[in-house]
Structure 1
Amino acid sequence: MPVNLQAPNPLDLAPVAGVTLGIAEAGVRKANRKDLVVVRLEEGTAVAGVFTQNRFCAAPVQVCREHLAAGSAVRAIVINTGNANAGTGADGLARARRTCASLATLMGVAPEQVLPFSTGVIMETLPVERIEAGLPAALADLQPSHWGRAAEGIMTTDTLPKAASRQLTIGGKTVNVTGISKGAGMIRPNMATMLGFVATDAVIAPGLLQPLVKAAADQSFNRVTIDGDTSTNDSFLLIATQRAGHAAITSLSSEEGQALQAAVFEVSRLLAQAIVRDGEGATKFIAVQIDGGRDEAECKLAAYAIAHSPLVKTAFFASDPNLGRILAAVGYAGITDLDQSLIEMHLDDVHVVTQGGRHTAYREEDGQRVMKQSEITVRVDLKRGAATTTVWTCDLSHDYVSINADYRS
């Protein structure tokens, strides 16, 4: 069961002017399931994205990068679940391009104006004929209110759809920010380990979109981990339709730019945290906060060492306060001149470690009390400087093994 996560209420997801979404059942892998999503973008929309740093990246990631680099105005997005089209060589690239060409023909745009995304099983041939057959139904289904249905249409091992929305006022005009994401396993930050799409009708200089999507990823999807595996298909797209009617934002440091950035960050964080809460087999949502680093980079080293450790994650699943495993992870994180005699550690309100050793007031029953909670914060202070960072992870359960052992069956 997801950790304190509920399916989004479609009525809470604000439409974004200039964006319509259509969903179809194409039978990409299984019959009678939503598995094909088309997103139509009106003229004048600006798009930017960040993608997986896995060098064995999927065909759609390669095609997306090519189309964005070409500079054509993006008019459509096509997403299929059930097949990742990764590890498929030249044939996979041809099938991704054929998907773009087929949708482009139906919409009357150029193939370079279509971005393809795929998620699912790796190293299997993309059934492009089924996708092509499903495109007319997806186009006929296009509606501005279909964010919730689209969130369902991109799920793989997710148990719940993931969507979030926020509104703000800029120049007296209401601005909407709405997004969806998918992901439950093969999650490790090295961009944005999942598929994520956030759209806004804000009017913003197109050149600001790339730094904004990168900053949003760094504040959200790049701070989550479930199992330490970086996917082949990870993609995070930011869309600005320019239709809210306010004066254009020309600087992210302006008051208007900061307000929009805060809303995009919040939606992105909610989507990223929803992925962790719905982690495969997860029973606990864990925030790992590292304080007192010399810089954020070494804080991240320590945070991810804890968050990736199977020993730490299984201890949380068992509610076993075997907390020396956390200290061990900090020790091997790669901070070569770390002084262990300075380390402080808290588990929520429980002071576990002081000056590198067990706090005299710490009682194991206090640690166990915290570890039985569904939401837990681990705080480690390195006492080396003023830098800090937080990442989010989950425990590692028996069900994680079962889900991944049975994934292709």
Structure 2
Amino acid sequence: MPDLHLPLGFQYAGVHCGVKSDAKKPDLSLFVSDRPCAAVGVYTQNRVVGAPVIVDRARTPSDSVRAVVINSGNANACTGERGVEDAQRMTALVAIAVDAAREDVLVCSTGIIGHHLPMEQIENGIGLAKGVLSGSAESLELAARGMMTTDTFPKIASRSEDWDGTIVTVTGACKGAAMIAPNMATMLAVVMTDVAIDATQASMILKEAVDESFNSISVDGHTSTSDTVLLLANGASGRPAETPEEIESVRSMVTLVCQNLAEMIIRDAEGAEHFVRIEIAGLPDRNDARKIAKTIAEGALCKTAITGNDPNWGRFVSAAGYSEVEFDLNQLSLDINGVRVFESGSPVVYDEALVSSRMAEGEVNLHLDFGGETDPAGPVVFLTSDLTAEYVRLNSEYTT
């Protein structure tokens, strides 16, 4: 972590303030820019949203955001008008601490639903966080830990490029381990860059990045109340993205960072024993391909087959069939971990014990080819996990 290259002009903090009972766990995080940022967000599609989502939707896109404050342990969701007031109060306290307007501070909360925030503890925590703000990798890790709920490790990713002697960087931190589904799930992410882009450019870049990352993963199909991905661009590198090539470079870096973070979420999925990659090729419409992949990823019978290392290809093929996407079964083929198990609508002879043993290694790749032309962008990739007894135990004992 100390060798991680970070974007210029940002500072971070993660502290324990008492939202969580365990004093060893940070529960409040700050991300602060030393100058105004172009800022945009992508938010949950759930009709039931947390108070911070209401506040942030009203404040983005923006060209003047200075900070993001996040608490874990309490989602501040389904908390009525008081919840909105508390979220606004959090931004006002941070604004005072970093000498910004309250409208230029964004807020996220994650944790248990239906409880009011302990504002006295949060106010103290903001003061503590202000006092330890730093641009170091260690501080960024603490901020990433302050976002965590059932996560088992902090999730950070970074990419840098050399633009004619100037290093430009995109770095992101996120949280998420369950209640994960496309259209955003119980995950929060703050992505930062020191390239100068405007809010219009940032909106385009973030939407595409999210579609190829956070909207292409699922643990359990549950879209939560608090999902938020924020992109902040402060221009501290002194390099604006002006040419189409430079804008594409930023888009690529943001997408890669988001994809790396999304993969970490799936690898940290609650109770999971298998990391699953679903590839859909040979369909003319990438949205249709993603719909099929999502259907397979969230099918209980598909997930439990993977848990049991059972190459029961009929479950995957039939799940594609009820996805409501039209295709010709006689053109469909399926490989499991590189072994052809179904071809052109018919079963093939394969070594079931071999495929099962490969699945037991913990990585499962399902490649479905629907027989059409190959998309120049490659197959649609969707990530998921299996469904284990441990997942059931965790979510039957943990109140959300």
Please say whether Structure 1 and Structure 2 have the same fold, judged by a TM-score greater than 0.5.
Answer: yes
Q: Distance in 2 between matches of 1:204 and 1:265?
A: 15
Deviation at 1:25, TM superposition (A): 0.8
| SS state at 1:164 partner | strand
Picking from 39, 43, 50, the partner of 2:35 is: 43
Q: Which moved more, 1:272-281 or 1:11-20?
A: 11-20
Instruction: Check 1:192–1:42 CA distance in 2 against 1; reply closer, same or farther (3 A cut).
Output: farther
CA offset at residue 72 of structure 1? 6.3
Q: Aligned runs of 1:245-264 on 2, under 5 Å? A: 245-246=238-239, 248-251=240-243, 254-264=244-254
Higher deviation after alignment, 71-80 or 395-404:
71-80
Q: Show CA shifts across 1:177-196 (max 9, x none).
A: 21111000000010465101
- Find 2:128's aligned residue among 112, 133, 137: 137
Matches within 5 A, 1:46-65: 46-65=38-57
Amino acid at match of 2:117: L
Which has the higher mean CA deviation after the structures are superposed, 337-346 or 56-65? 337-346
Query: How far 1:384 sits from its partner (Å)?
Result: 4.1
Contact 2:170 2:254 in 1 (8 A): yes
8 Å contact from structure 2 (residues 271, 394) kept in 1: yes
Q: 1:357 aligns with which of 332, 337, 346?
A: 346
Match for 1:26: what amino acid? C
The aligned residue for residue 272 of structure 2 is 282
Partner of 1:3: none
**Could you tell which deviates more after superposition, 98-107 or 76-85?**
98-107
- Per the TM alignment, residue 27 of structure 1 is displaced from its structure 2 partner at its CA by 0.7
Pair 173,63 (structure 1): closer, same or farther in 2 beyond 3 Å = same
In structure 2, what is the Cα distance between the partners aligned to 1:245 and 1:185? Answer: 39
Q: Which residue of 2 aligns with 1:7?
A: none
**In structure 2, what is the Cα distance between the partners aligned to 1:66 and 1:203?**
23
| 2:151 counterpart residue number | 158
Q: State the one-letter code of the partner of 1:147.
A: L
Q: In structure 2, the residue corresponding to 1:352 is in which secondary structure? A: strand
Paired position in structure 1 for 2:361: 373
Q: Tell which deviates more after alignment, 298-307 or 255-264.
A: 255-264
Q: Aligned match of 1:128 in 119, 122, 129?
A: 119
1:148 aligned residue (141, 149, 152):
141
Cα distance in 2 for partners of 1:345, 1:39 equals 45
Once the two structures are superposed, residues 44-80 of structure 1 have per-residue CA deviations (whole angstroms, 9 ceiling, x without a partner) of 32111111111111100010111225x4611111100
Match of 1:334 among 296, 311, 324: 324
1:118 aligns with 2:106: no
Which residues of 2 match residues 184-195 of structure 1 at below 5 A?
A: 184-191=177-184, 193-195=186-188
Unaligned runs of 5+ residues in structure 1 are 1-9
When the two chains are superposed, the root-mean-square deviation of aligned CA atoms in Å is: 1.6
Question: Any conservation in 2 of the 1:205–1:250 contact (CA below 8 Å)?
Answer: no
Tell me which amino acid in the other structure corresponds to 2:6.
Answer: P
**Cα separation, 1, equivalents of 2:177 and 2:3:** 23
Matches within 5 A, 1:311-326: 311-326=301-316
Deviation at 1:250, TM superposition (A): 2.8
Residue 156 of structure 1, CA deviation? 0.3
SS where residue 203 of structure 2 aligns?
helix
**Aligned residue number for residue 94 of structure 1:** 85
Q: Which residue in the other structure is 1:4 paired with?
A: none
The CA deviation string for residues 322-354 of structure 1, in whole angstroms up to 9 with x for no partner, is 22111110110102x422222100012200001
Quick one: which amino acid aligns to residue 177 of structure 1? V
Do 1:201 and 1:240's aligned partners in 2 also have CA atoms closer than 8 Å?
A: yes
2:32, 2:288 → 1: CA distance? 42
Give the Cα separation in 1 of the matches to 2:56 and 2:342.
48
CA-to-partner distance for each residue in 1:193-215, whole Å, 9 max, x for gaps? 51011111112244311111111
Letter in 2 for 1:111: R
Name 1:237's counterpart in structure 2: 230
- The 10-residue stretch of structure 1 (76-85 or 236-245) with the greater mean CA deviation from structure 2: 236-245
1:382 corresponding residue in structure 2: 370
Asked if structure 1 preserves the Cα contact closer than 8 Å seen for 2:44 and 2:183, the reply is yes
Distance in 2 (alpha carbons) for counterparts of 1:83 and 1:301:
32
Larger displacement relative to structure 2 (178-187 or 194-203): 194-203
Of 192, 197, 213, the match for 1:199: 192
**What residue number does 2:97 align with?**
106
What is residue 337 of structure 2 aligned with on the other side?
A: 348
- 1:70-95 Cα distance to aligned partner (Å, 9 max, x none): x4611111100000011111111111
SS of 1:321's equivalent in the other structure is: coil
TM-score by length of 1: 0.93
Separation of aligned partners in 2, 1:140 and 1:345: 56
2:83 and 2:30 map into 1 onto residues whose CA distance is: 20
Q: 1:214 aligns with which of 196, 200, 207?
A: 207
| Alpha-carbon distance in 2 for matches of 1:331, 1:190 | 22
Query: What amino acid is aligned across from residue 61 of structure 1 in structure 2?
Result: V
SS in 1 for 2:218: coil
Q: Specify whether residues 193 and 169 from structure 1 end up closer, same or farther in structure 2 by C-alpha distance, changes over 3 A only.
A: farther
Deviates more, 1:188-197 or 1:262-271: 188-197
Paired residue total? 394
Q: TM-score, normalised by structure 2?
A: 0.95
| CA spacing shift, 1:385–1:15, aligned 2, 3 Å | closer
3-state SS of 1:401 partner: helix
What is the CA–CA distance in structure 2 between the aligned matches of 1:55 and 1:13, rounded to whole Å? Answer: 38
8 Å contact kept, 2:185–2:224:
no
